[in-house]
Amino acid sequence: MDSTYDRKAEVKAFDDSKVGVKGLVESGVTKIPRMFHSGKLDTIQTLATDSKLSVPIIDLKDMHYNTALHAELISKIRSACHEWGFFQVINHGIPISVLGEMIHGIRRFHEQDSKVRKEFYTRDLKKKVLYYSNISLLNSDQPVNWRDTFGFAVAPDPPKPEEIPSVCRDIAIEYSKKIRDLGFRILELLSEALGLNPSYLKELNCGEGLFILGNYYPTCPEPELTMGATKHTDGNFVTLLLQDQLGGLQVLHQNQWVNVPPVHGALVVNIGDLLQLITNDMFVSVYHRVLSNKSSPRISTSRK
């Protein structure tokens, strides 16, 4: 115990800066503030060395045809959702150039002048465009993630185009449309994997409320002390995640952390708590986390 440590003051100063973890890095810190120390929380399980343990990669090229291949696809999805709660999809129909530009757009947002970023900083979840670091920072005693987030609503109530930051406006709008459509396709496949009519989950309105988050994990001077994201499950129905080529995302499988390696052109799909709940655990919402690193910033975007 260190009676001189005032966490509240540290958190408040950080939040008042309105420039996130990126702002700390820009100010030249070489030692990370104590609120980011994750202690032993995340080091209980070992990292899988068994190469047979890898997150399934599922090719969606057969998704539109009602053939034996389609049935095989559905069966792969069913076991991925049941065994892993995670899979990667390729040939999903979103052009790779759009994925690349979305990553760039998020990078441009987080790397623009801090004076501009500051204007967007808020924890008001009623806002349609948000920029914050660690959404529950102020009322939590959990270790803080080495991560900043930019986010915007997509449905049912999107911001006006001019409310979206100009550095990423066009791509944010284009990506939103494409990821929303793909989300509906994935819900159809998941419905089929549950043995239901393809439109089942869509008709439950599982795809209605949509938010896109643009995560930025700045380079970290002491990556052994903190996590980009501490282990968590997602609280929504299903997340579609696009990560850059750096790596660092891990999923807990059979009590071991397994890397979710970046696959060029792929999107990661993961089941959230709500889908686990309504499927009576047929599909599982599993713990995952993101390591921090010293070499370069990592960018990801998730459709929630």
Residues that bind ligand OGA (CB under 6 A): 213, 215, 229, 234, 239, 241, 243, 249, 288, 290, 300, 302
d(CA 201, CA 205): 7
Verify binding: residue 234, Ni ion, rule CB under 5 A.
yes
- Nearer Cβ to Ni ion, position 234 or 244? 234
Q: Cβ 284 to Ni ion, closest distance in Å?
A: 14
- Nearer Cβ to ligand OGA, position 85 or 165? 85
Q: Can you tell me which residue has the tokens 């009676």?
A: 3
Verify binding: residue 42, Ni ion, rule CB under 5 A.
no
Q: Which does 187 bind (CB under 5 to 8 A by kind): ligand OGA, Ni ion, none?
A: none
72 residue type, one letter: E
d(CA 74, CA 71): 5
- Nearer Cβ to Ni ion, position 23 or 285? 285
d(CA 80, CA 168): 33
Tell me the residue number closest to ligand OGA, measured at CB: 300
Can you read off the two tokens belonging to residue 233?
A: 């499950």
Half-sphere CA count of 119, side-chain side, radius 13 A: 9
Q: Which residues of 107-117 are buried (b: 16+ CB within 10 A; e: fewer)?
A: bebbbeebeeb
- Nearer Cβ to ligand OGA, position 81 or 241? 241
Q: Which does 300 bind (CB under 5 to 8 A by kind): ligand OGA, Ni ion, none?
A: ligand OGA
- Taking a C-beta distance cutoff of 8 angstroms, is the pair 178, 242 a contact? no
Stretch that binds Ni ion, among 21-29, 69-77, 131-139, 226-234 (CB under 5 A): 226-234
Q: Cβ 147 to ligand OGA, closest distance in Å?
A: 8
